[in-house]
Structure 1
Amino acid sequence: MSIFSFLFGGSGNTSDAIKVLDGENYKRAISKGKVQLVDVRTPREYGAGHIKNAKNIDFFQRSSFEAGFSKLEKGKPVYLYCQSGNRSLKAARRLVAMGFSEIYDLKGGYRAWSY
């Protein structure tokens, strides 16, 4: 375990499953076709603006969070974002615990999205 992983609560499995992409690479990845794109902000935040085709699954509503993600395919990549990148990273860790193995997080969140 690296010192970074130790300090920030990550494990080898988590860092292998979660990758943080900058806006350009994230945009390129989600534009390749049908992807599992999820906005983990609140419905109010989502309603104020979101990335096209993103599904809203609120991180703070634990039961609906788990129910929403249980409908997604664990073997396919999941692309997450929140407002700043903090919530989506926590959501990504939760998804690893739920059995997802390929998770992409938008660096800087929706706030940094300019596309």
Structure 2
Amino acid sequence: MDLSQKDWQSQLEEDSNAVILDVRTADEWSEGIIPNAVLNDIYKGQAFIYRLEELDPSKNYYVYCKAGGRSAQACAIMNQMGFENTYNLEGGFMNWKGPVVFPEE
């Protein structure tokens, strides 16, 4: 499901069962992330799928990329794999107005 920036952030703040999934590349990740995000680069192909298989499908996944295209694709893949609650950040990280942190090296 696509959510606006405002709805994605407000829903995330109220969700105690949330996982934030960043599907950008490692280079993009190093430029800043939404706090508590987990990296799983969609461009890694089968490795991306393997990492999804390790996730708990009962959690709620808030997925983002740079502009919203890759994360929409990731949500579709996750839904096919049995993840019921995936939320795509419309407009992606480049339009994010919420908190940003830099990942530990």
Deviations 1:2-54 (A, max 9, x none): xxxxxxxxxxxxxxxxx111111111122234511100000110111110000
Higher relative contact order (CA 8 A, sep 6+): 2
Q: Which amino acid aligns with 2:5?
A: G
Q: Which amino acid aligns with 2:39?
A: N
The residue aligned with 2:103 is none
Q: Number of aligned pairs?
A: 97
* Identity value in percent: 30
The residue aligned with 1:58 is 41
Query: Quick check: 1:79–1:104 contact (8 Å CA) kept in 2?
Result: yes
SS at match of 2:42: coil
The reply on whether 1:30 has 2:6 as its aligned counterpart is: no
Correspondence for 1:111 among 87, 94, 97: 94
Aligned alpha-carbon RMSD (Å): 1.2
CA distance in 2 between partners of 1:31 and 1:71 (Å)? 24
SS at match of 2:2: strand
> What's the TM-score once normalised by structure 1's chain length?
0.78
The reply on whether 1:86 has 2:69 as its aligned counterpart is: yes
Is there any run of 5+ residues in structure 2 with no aligned partner, and where? 99-105
The reply on whether 1:74 has 2:46 as its aligned counterpart is: no
Deviations 1:45-79 (A, max 9, x none): 01111100000000000222112211211122111
Query: Quick check: 1:36–1:72 contact (8 Å CA) kept in 2?
Result: no
Is there any run of 5+ residues in structure 1 with no aligned partner, and where? 1-18
> What's the TM-score once normalised by structure 2's chain length?
0.85
CA distance in 2 between partners of 1:29 and 1:68 (Å)? 25
Question: In proportion to residue count, which structure has more helix?
Answer: 1
Which of the two has higher C-alpha Rg?
1
Query: Quick check: 2:17–2:60 contact (8 Å CA) kept in 1?
Result: no
CA distance in 2 between partners of 1:61 and 1:98 (Å)? 17
The reply on whether 1:42 has 2:25 as its aligned counterpart is: yes
SS at match of 1:38: strand
